[in-house]
Structure 1
Amino acid sequence: MTSNESAVYDAVVLAGGGARRLGGADKPGVRVGGRALLDRVLGACADARATVVVAEPRPTARPVRWAREDPPGAGPVAALDAGLRHTAADDVLVLSADLPFLTADTVRRLLAALRAGPGEGVLLTDGDGRDQPLVAAYRTAALRRELAVLTADRGGLTGLPLRRLTAGLELTRVPDPVASFDCDTWDDIASARARIREHGHVLDEWISAVKDELGIDLDVDTGLLLDLARDAAHGVARPAAPLTTFLVGYAAARAQGGPEAVAEAARKAAALALRWAQEAEAEQDRTAEPTSTEPSGTEPAGTETTGTETTGADTTGTEPARSRPDAG
């Protein structure tokens, strides 16, 4: 099995439900940091081979498959069963659609922990130590086994809570109060919106939002671009910073390149900004140097000095006649 094959997984995102604690609002469509909650979750699992969203279809930032539990509103276990019917990978990521701080790194961590151990699932726990079965990676076969058991025992899956499903699984728990944070109330939404504007988060959040909005799936070294912007601003002029970074991106796009093309264009632009700054510094140094060729401490022949003024005629503290307003 190649490394690419071993990394294959499918994702099932549960985006239904009545959102009663939000007054019936369309929770997956609520925006945090300018992006719908559902799109934020889809961004975190963008490398899934297949992504199934269990809900009524809606516009999303990237293409997905749609499924619906039968009957609609039958609950999370029925929704998960409906989503699994459209998956084929050995491992499946199961997520809710209201996780504002879920990242691709968290997804990779869940999958790595699942593949490293003998268990049947790895889930996050929140700040209070509670299981979050909708932020988890599972063995697909194990989920199907337990769904079949529940269906046989109960005659169906309608209305069953997720704990009835996960109770039969061998699980590993990973504490993560941030990635497991979900938005059940408007206070949760407000907290999420405030957090992403904190200094330590706002830049990454903004870059992710812009990439989603523009349909860009490209990881670049933001530190490199910030350094370039600083060099352009200091070495040329402040407006040069955004214009230069735009031109770097445009050049990389024309070259049909990835992060390497961006880095190469940024390197060239940074070197140009440095040369520009060096020329300016050299010119400042040149104009600051004395221009007289006479030996230090002497005056040109034929001149006399009084105070700090030097002229070609005798000076007695008055201006030359040609400068006087009443000169005839």
Structure 2
Amino acid sequence: MTDNAPAGPLPAESPESSGPGTAPATGIAYDAVVLAGGGARRLGGADKPGVQIGGRALLDRVLDACADAATAVVVAAPRSTVRPVRWAREEPSGGGPVAALDAGLRLTSAEHAVVLSADLPFLGADTLHLLLAALRDSGADGALLTDEDGRDQPLVAAYRTAALRRALADLAAEHGRLTGLPLRRLTAALRLTRITDPLASFDCDTWDDIARARARIREHGHVLNEWITAVKNELGIDLDVDTRVLLDAARDVAHGVARPAAPLTTFLIGYAAAQGKGDAESIAEAAGKVADLAIRWEAEHSGGESAPDAG
């Protein structure tokens, strides 16, 4: 494998996929089916779900995006993952995406299901929420993304589970099996609505695609969130933290006390929060106290406070 420079710019980030927390929660319960058992022929047969983008396996990045699913089913041979999942396998193994989807869907029970490939480095929960909301509001059988060329991406989609099961049963009855059938045979039988999101639908089919994805997450506007997420996963921390609060506190300490004090102080903020409730509010409270202390510290040593009256 060679990490060459990106072959071209990635699609621009759209409002629908602008980062964690930007889309409202839909309140729609759903299961997730992730197809991760392909042959990765364009990668020379490499273990594509395990390829690292920003220190996280592609499969783990997709599982993070659907972390609020009631059940997550991965159709592939079992492996270590950052989140608990159920495992399924199409029969025979390597039977194609329609057979894999059928195998995964058998382990779901929610009224809605998101169906995803395992090679989507920029998919986020906000995009899944948008798809589920579009599905609910349109009355269609499914809501899927289209890429920058306007092509349907049926493996970045939300579906009504009953509609998927009916279409799969009809295909099986018509062809006698699901093995080897293309996905377009399945989606042709469904009423679909579409959302264009070139970034969230970007998938890693080739080593050039992987190089482009790795380059993008190191850009200035993305590297901090990517790094913080990777660290949380590495340490097993499942907590949404307002990084701006910590950065503001670190900046005040570096400016008002000493630069080396900033990283040590943020460690102490986290330790103090863990001694309490250990939630985002505790971190914000501790960071606020430290920021105030840094301002007082600087004022003392810069003459910002007036001397007390002598008499």
Structure 2: give runs of 5+ residues left out of the alignment.
1-24
Q: 1:281 aligns with which of 284, 290, 302?
A: 302
**C-alpha displacement of 1:251:** 1.1
Q: Is the 8 A contact 2:33 2:101 kept in 1?
A: yes
1:93 paired residue number: 114
1:313 paired residue number: none
Q: Is the 8 A contact 2:34 2:115 kept in 1?
A: yes
**Distance in 2 between residues matched to 1:258 and 1:283, nearest whole Å:** 35
Q: 1:120 aligns with which of 141, 159, 163?
A: 141
1:266 paired residue number: 287
Aligned length: 284
SS in 1 for 2:303: helix
Answering whether residue 170 of structure 2 is matched by residue 170 of structure 1, we say no
**Pairing 1:96-115 to 2, within 5 Å after superposition:** 96-115=117-136
Q: 1:58 aligns with which of 56, 79, 83?
A: 79
Answering whether residue 105 of structure 2 is matched by residue 77 of structure 1, we say no
1:22/1:5 Cα in 2 relative to 1: closer, same or farther (>3 Å)? closer
Answering whether residue 203 of structure 2 is matched by residue 186 of structure 1, we say no
**Bigger-Rg structure (1/2):** 1
**Pairing 1:1-328 to 2, within 5 Å after superposition:** 6-282=27-303
SS in 1 for 2:202: coil
**C-alpha displacement of 1:7:** 2.5
For residues 6-30 of structure 1, what are the alpha-carbon distances to aligned partners after superposition, in whole Å with 9 as ceiling and x for unaligned? 4211000000011000000000000
SS in 2 for 1:178: coil
Q: Tell me which amino acid in the other structure corresponds to 1:160.
A: L
Q: Is the 8 A contact 2:147 2:197 kept in 1?
A: yes
SS in 2 for 1:172: strand
TM-score, scaled to structure 2: 0.89
2:10 paired residue number: none
Q: Indicate the percent of aligned positions where both proteins have the same amino acid.
A: 74
**C-alpha displacement of 1:200:** 1.1
**C-alpha displacement of 1:285:** 8.4
For residues 31-52 of structure 1, what are the alpha-carbon distances to aligned partners after superposition, in whole Å with 9 as ceiling and x for unaligned? 0111100000001111111000
**Distance in 2 between residues matched to 1:107 and 1:5, nearest whole Å:** 10
Q: Is the 8 A contact 2:121 2:202 kept in 1?
A: yes
**C-alpha displacement of 1:53:** 0.3
Q: Is the 8 A contact 2:143 2:157 kept in 1?
A: yes
**C-alpha displacement of 1:184:** 0.4
**C-alpha displacement of 1:64:** 0.6
Q: Tell me which amino acid in the other structure corresponds to 1:50.
A: T
SS in 1 for 2:156: strand
**C-alpha displacement of 1:274:** 1.1
Q: Tell me which amino acid in the other structure corresponds to 2:296.
A: R
Q: Give the alignment's Cα RMSD to 1 decimal.
A: 1.7
Q: Is the 8 A contact 2:299 2:305 kept in 1?
A: no
Q: Tell me which amino acid in the other structure corresponds to 2:250.
A: A
**Distance in 2 between residues matched to 1:213 and 1:204, nearest whole Å:** 14
1:221/1:6 Cα in 2 relative to 1: closer, same or farther (>3 Å)? closer
Q: Tell me which amino acid in the other structure corresponds to 1:132.
A: Q
Q: Tell me which amino acid in the other structure corresponds to 2:69.
A: A
> Which ranges of 4 or more aligned residues in structure 1 deviate by more than 3 Å?
283-286
Q: Tell me which amino acid in the other structure corresponds to 2:218.
A: R
**C-alpha displacement of 1:280:** 0.9
SS in 1 for 2:288: helix
